[in-house]
Amino acid sequence: MTFMELAKNRYSERFFDSRPVEQEKLDQILEAGRIVPTACNYQPQRFYVIRSEEALAKARAVTPFHYNAPLMLLVCYDMRTVWRNPGDRYYRDYNSGEQDASIAATTMMYAAEELGVHSVWLRGFDSKAVVDTFGLPENIVPVMMFAMGYPNDRAKPNGWHFKRNPIESFVTEL
Ligand SMILES: Cc1cc2nc3c(=O)[nH]c(=O)nc-3n(C[C@H](O)[C@H](O)[C@H](O)COP(=O)(O)O)c2cc1C
């Protein structure tokens, strides 16, 4: 499968089977998030694996968008490791953490997809609740979560997946 085919086939999965994701596949997904480019190569991305009953119960308490997936990943960045650009006059105290973590998350999403592991990107949670529930250190900033796993027999894209704006609405030549 070409990358373009992979990108076009991917959709947000909201119907998961209870079958666990094999450790070998999880390792490959996490590896894909390890090797991404980051600002100044500082590598602030941090991944938390949520798959025990206890951890899943906590995650399901902080977001309604868990879709009973057997595996969730919480993607964060370490505030002590980000690249900073205090000279940026547009963003105050700019740091690269959200970009770095999002590159890692996006790469893991496609790596999972290639392995047949479906996912949905989640931001419908209160970051403070996530920090408190999992007892994260204060230097760790939540960016997003994945619900991940194998699709069940109800799996299908929802209507939003088919609604994309035309290329002209995204691209401007300067
Ligand atoms: C930043 C971001 C946040 C999202 N948050 C949620 C969420 O909390 N719950 C959810 O069900 N889907 C969430 N999604 C999935 C989007 O709704 C989905 O990607 C979009 O509707 C396009 O559909 P598709 O991914 O199936 O192509 C999120 C996606 C992104 C990129």
Task: Give me the pLDDT at residue 97, please.
Answer: 98
Q: Whose CA is nearest to atom 13 of ligand 1?
A: 122
Q: How far apart are CA 115 and CA 166, in angstroms?
A: 30
Q: Whose CA is nearest to atom 18 of ligand 1?
A: 12
The pick from 106, 107, 122 for probing ligand 1's pocket by mutation, whose C-beta has the most ligand atoms within 8 angstroms, reads 122
Task: Give me the pLDDT at residue 131, please.
Answer: 98
Position 66 confidence tier, pLDDT thresholds 50, 70, 90: very high
Q: How far apart are CA 44 and CA 105, in angstroms?
A: 12
Residues with C-beta less than 6 Å from any ligand 1 atom? 11-12, 65, 120-124, 157, 160-161
Task: Give me the pLDDT at residue 26, please.
Answer: 98
What would be the CATH architecture of the domain defined by 23-150? 3-Layer(aba) Sandwich (3.40)
Domain ranges in the chain?
23-150
In the 8-state DSSP scheme, what is residue 151? B
The pick from 8, 102, 121 for probing ligand 1's pocket by mutation, whose C-beta has the most ligand atoms within 8 angstroms, reads 121
Q: Give per-residue pLDDT as tens, 85-126.
A: 999 999 999 999 999 999 999 999 999 999 999 999 999 999
Across the chain, what does the average pLDDT equal? 98
> Residue 89 Cα, ligand 1 centroid: separation in angstroms?
31
Q: How far apart are CA 75 and CA 98, in angstroms?
A: 10
The pick from 120, 143, 148, 165 for probing ligand 1's pocket by mutation, whose C-beta has the most ligand atoms within 8 angstroms, reads 120
Task: Give me the pLDDT at residue 114, please.
Answer: 98
Contacts of 7 (CB under 8 A, 6+ apart): 110
What is the SS3 string spanning 146-166? EEEECECCCCCCCHHHHCCCC
> Residue 121 Cα, ligand 1 centroid: separation in angstroms?
5
Mean pLDDT of 63-75: 98
Mean pLDDT of 158-169: 97
Task: Give me the pLDDT at residue 57, please.
Answer: 98
Q: What is the pTM of this model?
A: 0.98
Q: Give per-residue pLDDT as tens, 35-61.
A: 999 999 999 999 999 999 999 999 999
